[in-house]
Amino acid sequence: MARRKKKGRRGKEKIRAKKVIQAPKEELKRELKISAIDEGTVIDHIPTDATFKVVDILDLENHSGIVSIATNLQSKTIGRKAIIKVGGKSLTQSEVNKIAIVAPDATVNIIKNYDVREKIKVKTPDIIDNVVKCSNPVCITNNEQVPTKFYVLKKDPLKIKCHYCERSMGKEDIEII
Amino acid sequence: MEQLGGTVIGFSNANVTSIQKGESLWDTIKMTEQYADVIVIRHPLEGSARLAAEAASIPVINGGDGSNQHPTQTMLDLYTIQKTKNRLDGLHIGFVGDLKYGRTVHSLVIALSHFNPTFYFIAPDDLQIPESYTDELFQKKIKYFKTADLNRFAKELDVLYVTRIQKERFPDPLEYEKFKGIYRVDEQFLQNVKKDMKIMHPLPRVDEIDKSVDNTSHAAYFEQAANGIPVRKILLALVLGRIK
């Protein structure tokens, strides 16, 4: 009984190419499978243009466990989305905070024994401490060893203002430290 | 400071300090505060004054941080407007020149936004007021216009704040060449303005205000510069707790 239940959950992890907009007819019949992970983290609802920023934030290039990335998937809430599955990794609060900046609608699912143990909706903070680099080359934070600090002016689309040089930055200027 | 009976320890060139040896601004401030009662900092990096204020336990006055802010200039600018126009409220104020890099403009726009002004930002697109300032004005529901044409709103203005195209702020000298001398306030321009319109300038000027304007009733820039002395004296006395 328990075994059947587990299988069902694994089934939920499948991402169906059927739902991808404008896919060729033959491809509609195919199914894109991303293997379920027994332990780790699934980050869902990532805007497609932020996919590789999340990869960078989590330093997944150097991760030794399984990493599955699916992008350009249809999402009811954000249009197109990406999902990243990382086997054998739990996120730190600092990593979750960083993801919130590039993917404000993301959900972080903590997987244990193929089961979603916890679902965390990331939240863009009002103040961003030492996560983002100031885009102003003559800002004191780019010339001295000073932790950066930004105030969030607008959450969607993200607009932040440097505590030191007072320059405001849009989503496109954001570079994670 | 010397006119107030104080003394000054300082330097005009950072090369004679430990900064040359790689000392951080934080450490320089930590050292300076051991010897001083107040620190006045003018620094090319933006946000330097705020960092200095965080490092110091004594008052820090921002004397200009890069292209960001110049708050003491703003205080004397407000004083000059009050003296010459007898009010600060509800004025139509034009800013012309380098509004992108002009820190005196940035600080004055924020300060005047508390007095229900109408702003006219006169600059080519590349030197226009940064979006962060217009965003703030929009939020505060303050009316503002942007134009590249100095004459377009000439008749509306109560004050015209003229700024120099600052050669030293341009990363590319060719860009400076493109904009230098673009605006000139002269007697011909004054034919189209209100009789009591005042012209201000943080000085030094290059060629943006013709010398012939100096002797007209519109010129307020030398009085403005002179106002810097009492305003900065008062500011020093205030932060040192000598007056309340």
What was the pLDDT predicted at A20?
A: 44
What was the pLDDT predicted at A22?
A: 52
Residue A11 confidence class, pLDDT cut points 50, 70, 90: very low
Per-residue pLDDT tens for B11-20? 777 777 777 7
The CA distance from B30 to B28, in Å, is 5
Determine contact: A149 vs chain B, CB below 8 A: no
Name which of B18, B24, B45, B139 to mutate to probe chain A: the one with the most chain A Cβ atoms within 10 A of its Cβ: B45
Determine contact: A175 vs chain B, CB below 8 A: no
Decide which of B14 and B68 is more confident: B68
What was the pLDDT predicted at A34?
A: 64
A117: left (phi over 0), alpha (psi -120 to 50) or beta: alpha
Average pLDDT of the residues in B82-105 = 96
A45: left (phi over 0), alpha (psi -120 to 50) or beta: left
Report the percent of chain B where pLDDT is more than 90: 82
Identity (one letter) of the amino acid at B84?
A: T
The CA distance from A39 to A88, in Å, is 5
Domains of chain A: 32-121 (3.30.70.140), 127-176 (2.30.30.20)
Per-residue pLDDT tens for A108-156? 999 999 889 889 888 888 999 888 999 999 999 999 999 999 999 988 8
Total number of residues shown for chain B = 244
DSSP one-letter string for B173-225: HHHHHHHTT---B-HHHHTTS-TT-EEE--S--SSSB-GGGTTSTTB-HHHHH
Identity (one letter) of the amino acid at A118?
A: E
Decide which of B22 and A43 is more confident: A43
What was the pLDDT predicted at A148?
A: 96
Looking at the predicted structure, is the pLDDT value of residue A7 above 60? Answer: no
Strands (E), chain A: 39-47, 67-75, 79-87, 107-112, 115-121, 127-129, 132-133, 149-155, 158-162, 168-170, 175-176
Decide which of B89 and B2 is more confident: B89
The CA distance from B134 to B142, in Å, is 9
Average pLDDT of the residues in B191-217 = 96
Average pLDDT of the residues in B109-123 = 97
Instruction: Write the CA distances from B209 to A71, A138, B128, B180, B216, integer angstroms.
Output: 58, 30, 19, 13, 12
Highest mean pLDDT out of A5-19, A119-133, B52-66? B52-66
The CA distance from B207 to B182, in Å, is 10
Pair of tokens at residue B150? 């100095």
Looking at the predicted structure, is the pLDDT value of residue B184 above 90? Answer: yes
Contact A146 B26 (CB under 8 A): yes
Which residue from A minimizes the CA distance to B44?
A: A138
What was the pLDDT predicted at A33?
A: 56
Looking at the predicted structure, is the pLDDT value of residue B74 above 90? Answer: yes
Per-residue pLDDT tens for B148-179? 999 999 999 999 999 999 887 787 888 888 88
Looking at the complex, report in whole angstroms how far the Cα of residue B132 sits from the nearest Cα belonging to chain A: 6
Residue A157 confidence class, pLDDT cut points 50, 70, 90: confident
Q: Which residues of A touch B131 (CB under 8 A)?
A: 168
Residue A8 confidence class, pLDDT cut points 50, 70, 90: very low
Decide which of B124 and A3 is more confident: B124
Contact A140 B67 (CB under 8 A): no
Average pLDDT of the residues in B50-62 = 97
What was the pLDDT predicted at A63?
A: 93
Contact B135 A153 (CB under 8 A): yes
Per-residue pLDDT tens for A24-47? 554 444 545 567 788 999 999 999
Name which of A129, A146, A151 to mutate to probe chain B: the one with the most chain B Cβ atoms within 10 A of its Cβ: A146
Q: Which residues of A touch B69 (CB under 8 A)?
A: 166
Report the percent of chain A where pLDDT is more than 70: 81
Rounded to 10°, the helix B25-32/B48-55 angle is: 50
Domains of chain B: 2-66 (3.40.50.1370), 71-225 (3.40.50.1370)
Contact B132 A161 (CB under 8 A): yes
Which residue from B minimizes the CA distance to A169?
A: B132
Look at residue B110 and give its three-state secondary structure: helix
Average pLDDT of the residues in A156-168 = 92
The CA distance from A116 to A93, in Å, is 18
Looking at the complex, report in whole angstroms how far the Cα of residue B144 sits from the nearest Cα belonging to chain A: 20
